[in-house]
Amino acid sequence: MLFRCLILIWVLLQTSLCDHWPYHRYYGKKSRSGEFMPDFSRAIQSKGSQHRFIHWLHDVSETQDSGEVRRMFINNTIPRDATSLDEVFDHLKRPQPGNFRGNISHLVPPLIANLPSDEAEKLFGNLRYALDSKCIVDKSNWWYRTTDGSCNWMKKDEINEGRIGMAKARDYGDHHYADGISKPREGPNARAVSNAFFKRNRTIYYEHTPLLIGLIEFVMHDVTYSMDSPEETIEVEMPPDEDTFDKNTKFVVHRTKAVPGTGTSMTNPRENVNMATTWLDISSLYGSTSDVARAIRSYKNGKLLTQEVKAGNMSLATSYLPFNSWNVSMRTTPGLDPTTLFTGGDPRTNEDWLVLAVHTLLLREHNRLCDLLAKQHPAYVDMKNSEHTDEKLYQTVRLIMSAKYALVANSYQMAYWTDKMPWPRDDGFPLYRQMYGESFMEINPMNTYPWPLVTKGGKPMVVSAEMAIVYRFHEFIISQFPIKDAKNNTLWNQSVFDTGFNPQGFLNTGLDSILRGMVGSHIPNFKSGVDESFRSAGKYRAEPFDVSTWSIVHEREQGLPTFNTYFREYNKQDPKVTVKVPSTFEEFTSDPEKVQKLKTLYDRPDDVDLVVGVQLDETYFPGTTVPKSALIISLFSLFGMGNSDRFSIGFAVTRCLLVDQPFDCHPSNALEELLWKPHPEPGLPNMRRLDDFWLNELDFPDHGTNLLWRLVTENTDISCLQQDPLFPADPKTNPVLCSLPTLPWWKIATTAVSGFEIVETNIEDYHTALATVMLALGLGMFLQMRSRFRHDRLNIPPVYSGLPIIGEALNFAKDPKGVLLKGFVEYGQTVSRCFGLKLASLVYFVVTRSTDLEWMEADNSKEEIFSLHKFLGVINFPLIVHQENFDSNLHVNIVREYLGNRRVVSKFGTTILDASNRFIDNSLPHTRTDLSQFVPVLMKYITTVIGACMVGDEIFDHPDLLKIFDQFNDHAVEAMGLSSLLPSRLQFLAGIKINADYRKARKILIPIIQKRRGQIGTAESGAKNITLLDQFLKDVPDNERAADLVVILVWGGLTNLQATFPSLIMDIINDPNATRALADTWSLLDPARLSVFDELPRPDPTNPWTPLRAAMFESIRLSGPITGPARFILKDAQLPSSMPYKTSPQETESESEPAPTVKPQKLPQGQVATLSAYYTHRSPAVYGPDAAKWVSNRFLRSDPDIGSPRFISWGLKGPHTCPGRWFAQECILVMSMCLMGRYDIVPEEYLIDEEKYIYLSSNVERRNVRVTITPRGRCL
């Protein structure tokens, strides 16, 4: 009973840890390796957020404008001490029965409900203005956001407010062209102005991170896009003081595209077109035109298109923006193919990695929310109508996303607050309270739409031309930022300028590494000037560029006011916070040098450009770190735009408190429908309550202050991050918080469930089992401490020890490639370059120096230091092949005797050929077909052919046997992993599934074996193709053992081919040049001319097999595992590479001789030495600068030196070099000939090396790619 309880508690604990609800967080603590991990002793409770929301609701209901709200509740107050929202709504006064409108729920089909024609007028009756019929005739125009931004403002004849393609508003409606019509306003040389006031003169680092830059950039792309006029340009010559560009250089700045038909007279001055919607609707992600919006949708379950990529050093594929295969209009540079760029909703998507990081996070968040919405509201999923489901999920999630985005923007503006900003600081309204000098009681979020304070002339506030110019904050731009790994180690410093229009580099680096650098560094403050890499760029879109000059020119050519002109008009609005209008140059700045430059460049103070005056402004908006003039034009306008939006989260939350009442609630859009869940009561059919699930998901109780943290942790593998990612981490003010780990614990949970369930089933003495487990754990910890002490004395290579007992096993299971590369980053420049990974009970020392590999090769024949057999024993290989086979090495001897025999191997060509054709005839389509799961087809092909070679044609009569072979392959890998985590008394448990596979296989194989024995020596036997079963039957008289050996030998064949064969096929079709080069050879290939023996002096150039053989060796080279081959260390042994002056003549400069003072390192007895085929085969020192690239003809003139330190896929030379390598090559080549000879195969996408493979702890798999196959003939 005690043991049962222990099991139950343990499993429940791990299950609870895997719960990933966003508000279950822990403070982070740094491990010895430098990586942050959750501190499970310091949890952050989630209930506080809900309490804060209830307090907020009570407090705002007590303000002077909210009397009607509090009077809905008992005692005329919302209970501030309520512990849940349900308790709050339980305090509602129940109204007298009356005539309530019928309940209309939009959570059920049809998508667009059949409403009475006057429904829109009823829902929007509180607006008190006529609605435009073009909006209300189609419910989708007002229930959801439109793509182009129209019908957000539904007033008759004004529905284009905020729509794409409209003229940019002007804050005070005035135009300042030189001729009053369209001629650019005059001013001094723009480059001279840039040199005078915008140079990076000093850097003041302040407490914000580069994530702020990416967010600002994304926001600006969302609300404004000024297209270049292709016909109109302005040239800017270099001024006399120019010290960067040649004096003959000219900047060529395109004018902003005008609204057609404007600029004809002083009564019709030139207007500038805005090609983005001006609402905070994330149009940068979704697009502002129907063509773009359609191109980036998947039309499946509401999701956006993605490409799944193993980016950076990740082993698992994650979602990234798709490449531009639809040729959507994307801004690019001359000569760069737009189809090589990412596709996004905005043409500037590829501008730099900072904005791409934000874009990618929002893409993943949209798709995550589609799954969440479908799970929370099954009614959204119409099983009979997938189009309906897709549209409803997509449109609703767009509204959820824009609500989150607006709350993120609130969190973003708070990044500028200081301690002097009056309370409350986080509800989104402190700027307005400061601006108008009013209190929380007078200005707060409890407002109805439209809110008069954010309307201008009776219209909503939209982005203005002035805001589009000023709100660029170019001083924040950094020249570079770090790329960081999970331990916060800087891998390299990345030039921001070089990230422009470089999506492939983004993929190669990976979002996680980029984000770690963005949140782990600083950006400059205002008044620092603009970084020279952007102010004096040698090329931007193939031309010299100065971001400051461009801003000055655009201000003038768009006819915007000067600094004094603008703020005279602003001050007329009678704000509490005014801006001084300088009457002298000295009033612009306290810097005498800049005053002198003003006097030199400008004739009068009134001539000073708007962006120059903002740049020089030395007064700060009260309670912020932002210059007053910059904030008024930018953040103040941004806030106004958010609160002018009909779909604002603030209006949605208060809809049924201010417009309707909870007991008669009628949502007016899909976001309100989601937030106010139906809760009908007798006599109250329209009763609704706020849904705390969606309020929490939107982080509304905390005003969005947790959303950026969640956006990162819920959409990346970064689980630990500072609480506010816009500020650097600080233990006191901005601590690192960790989400609950998901992947790192799956192995433990799996082991617990499977291992302990088996224990409970098979062991009656629970107390004995419990004692065994506890003793093993205690002994393991003692032995680990003892081992560390001994290793310290030996001076072994550094070891990643990880967690007690299991070491780095969990991290290695999750990301073996990342763990390996981490080691090489940290220890790759050491003398031996060797380091250890503790994986459960063993430390694996990774050996890669050529000197050390030669040493291991020399020991291969003697096995005085290293042992393969011993290594297989300690990883429980006997569990898989059975102890008697392992002790006698019977399975290996069979392979050596028959598959190491040239005459026998040569005969298998016909067996492979016939099995291949039969598989293709039975399993592949005979017409042109798109295959979404091509790699699984190749795996089935391998199992079938290997099975036929081992058993014979009977394999085609027993498809269940093929399934058993595949299951055995999977269970063998699982068994080795599970057995290494169990005490010795319980290790037999890991073999239970293995033994079940053996039993199932025997039922099919023994009758075949019995029949085959009866055919020995008969004519029927001689007529059949050769099989390995026929060869070894005479050596194994026991039928049961013979059946088991068939399973073992098939497993060995699968192990050899499961990475290599798919890699060859996928590599060929991934390289159009190789595909064309090999196309002419398929019909010439004859198995009779095939030679796979590696004693040939050089390939035969006349043999048509030679090009395919060369390509095969190249694919084998690049598909090697992360670790392996491996050997057990029999005794302490010094690494030759660590001995003074003991270097190989083959060592390169990167492997220089160690200093004579270096103390030699030893590999300790009882551990494991492992090679790394992945690392060695990609080493430029071995294969040149293109080592990581698949080159089909690399081995055309010379076979690889198999078994040498240069080519270790089949082990090092000696008695343990893989005995089945000839047979493996025969299979790969003949199977490739049959498949490629019979089909044209075209992949949907082409991959680089980093994208091709899925690295697991024990093997390598090829990433699946969708292909189109077209039949063209039959193999020989």
Residue positions in the annotated binding site for heme b?
Answer: 474
Residues with Cβ < 8 Å from 748, sequence gap 6 or more? 14, 806, 810
**Residue 1013 CB-density burial (10 A; 0-12 exposed, 13-18 middle, 19+ buried):** middle
Tokens encoding 649: 């989260």
Query: Peptide bond preceding 450: is omega within 30 degrees of 0, i.e. cis?
Result: yes
What string of DSSP letters covers 870-914?
A: HHHHHTTHHHHH-HHHHHHTHHHHHIIIIIT-HHHHHHHHHHHHH
Q: What gap in Å lies between CA 332 and CA 352, rounded to an integer? A: 12
Tokens encoding 630: 């910059």
- The region, left, alpha or beta by phi > 0 then psi within -120 to 50, assigned to residue 313 is alpha
**Strand, coil or helix: what is 545?**
strand
Which residue is listed with tokens 């100065």?
546
Q: What gap in Å lies between CA 1192 and CA 284, rounded to an integer? A: 41
Tokens encoding 282: 């994330």
Q: Are 719 and 35 in contact (CB under 8 A)?
A: no
Q: Please enumerate, by residue number, every residue annotated as part of a binding site.
A: 474
What string of DSSP letters covers 1065-1111?
A: HHHHHH-HHHHHHHHTTGGG--GGG----TT-SS--TT-TTHHHHHH
Q: Counting every residue, how long is the chain?
A: 1276
What does DSSP assign to residue 73?
B
What does DSSP assign to residue 640?
H
**Residue 883 CB-density burial (10 A; 0-12 exposed, 13-18 middle, 19+ buried):** exposed
C-beta atoms surrounding 503 within 10 Å: 21
Which residue is listed with tokens 């099975």?
947
Q: Among candidates 344, 304, 320, which has minimal Cα distance to 1250?
A: 320
Q: What gap in Å lies between CA 1033 and CA 712, rounded to an integer? A: 60
Q: Are 1119 and 1253 in contact (CB under 8 A)?
A: yes
Residues with Cβ < 8 Å from 412, sequence gap 6 or more? 212, 215, 216, 219, 726
Q: Are 1142 and 851 in contact (CB under 8 A)?
A: yes
Q: Are 145 and 402 in contact (CB under 8 A)?
A: yes
Beta bridge partners of 684: 681
Q: What gap in Å lies between CA 94 and CA 92, rounded to an integer? A: 6
Q: Are 1050 and 964 in contact (CB under 8 A)?
A: no
**Strand, coil or helix: what is 935?**
helix
Q: At what angle do helices 959-979 and 934-950 cross, to 10 degrees?
A: 100
Q: What gap in Å lies between CA 425 and CA 445, rounded to an integer? A: 12
Termini Cα distance of the chain:
66
Q: What gap in Å lies between CA 282 and CA 358, rounded to an integer? A: 11
**Strand, coil or helix: what is 1229?**
helix
The DSSP element (H or E) to which 392 belongs, if any, is helix 386-414
Q: How far is CA 29 from CA 15, 33, 609, 819, in A?
A: 22, 11, 50, 20
Give the CB-side neighbour count of residue 886, counting CA atoms within 13 A: 16
The DSSP element (H or E) to which 44 belongs, if any, is strand 36-44
